Amino acid sequence: MDTVERLIQSTQELLWERGYVGTSPKAIQQRAGAGQGSMYHHFDGKPDLALAAVRRTAEQVRAAAEADLGGPGTALERVTVYLLREREVLRGCPVGRLTQDPDVMASDSLRQPLEETFAWLRGRLAEVLAEGQAHGELSDRLVPEETAAAIVAVLQGGYVLARAAGSEEPFAQAVKGVLALLASHALS
């Protein structure tokens, strides 16, 4: 892994763990095993490096979701795979955690990849659910866009509840609940 990749990956990890303010250039350099000169040779400073890291995190979250939602199976099976996949629940969603950081949210450039990721996820889930309706798998009573927004909200809320409880159980209950609601719209 080259220096640029180590710097971006280290910044991603530190942003997830500590937030923007807690992610100092020195901590980034130490974790990446890179000197100050290397960091400032490749990036204009912490904001520039943070933006590269936030964009990378957003890309990774979208790619992981697409792997599940674009895979084989019925619409409900693909959404189920997405909802049940292994996650680091107690660390929270790497994108969702960033939305709780006031410094990230105060920056239009840092907030934009987060906003785009959640918009993409809601849209992609809505597409899959609409496919399920078109194939006669899901009831026409289900509103794909609203249901997709609810799924995303349940996941993000599940992370918050789990972190507050110090247990993955509230997240698991939230996922089971949304799966039961989706199953009530299954036609086959």
DSSP of 64-92: HHHHHHTSSS-HHHHHHHHHHS---GGG-
Write down the domain spans for the chain: 57-183
- 101-114 CB burial, b ≥16 within 10 A, e <16: beebeebeebbebb
- The answer to whether the beta carbons of residues 97 and 16 sit under 8 Å apart is yes
Q: Which of 83, 177, 76 is nearest to 130 (CA)?
A: 76
Dist. CA 3–CA 186, nearest whole Å: 49
In Å, what is the CA distance from 56 to each residue of 10, 45, 89, 128, 187?
A: 12, 17, 20, 24, 39
Q: Is domain 57-183 in CATH 1.10.357.10, yes or no?
A: yes
- Note the residue count of the chain: 188
pTM, full prediction: 0.93
- The answer to whether the beta carbons of residues 13 and 28 sit under 8 Å apart is no
Angle, to 10 degrees, between the axis of helix 75-84 and the axis of helix 46-69? Answer: 140
In Å, what is the CA distance from 71 to each residue of 64, 159, 168, 173, 187?
A: 11, 24, 26, 25, 21
pLDDT of 89 = 97
Dist. CA 16–CA 8, nearest whole Å: 12
pLDDT under 70: residue ranges of the chain: 1, 188
Q: Which amino acid is at 160?
A: V
- Residue 52 DSSP code: H
Report residue 141: phi and psi, to 5°.
-70, -25
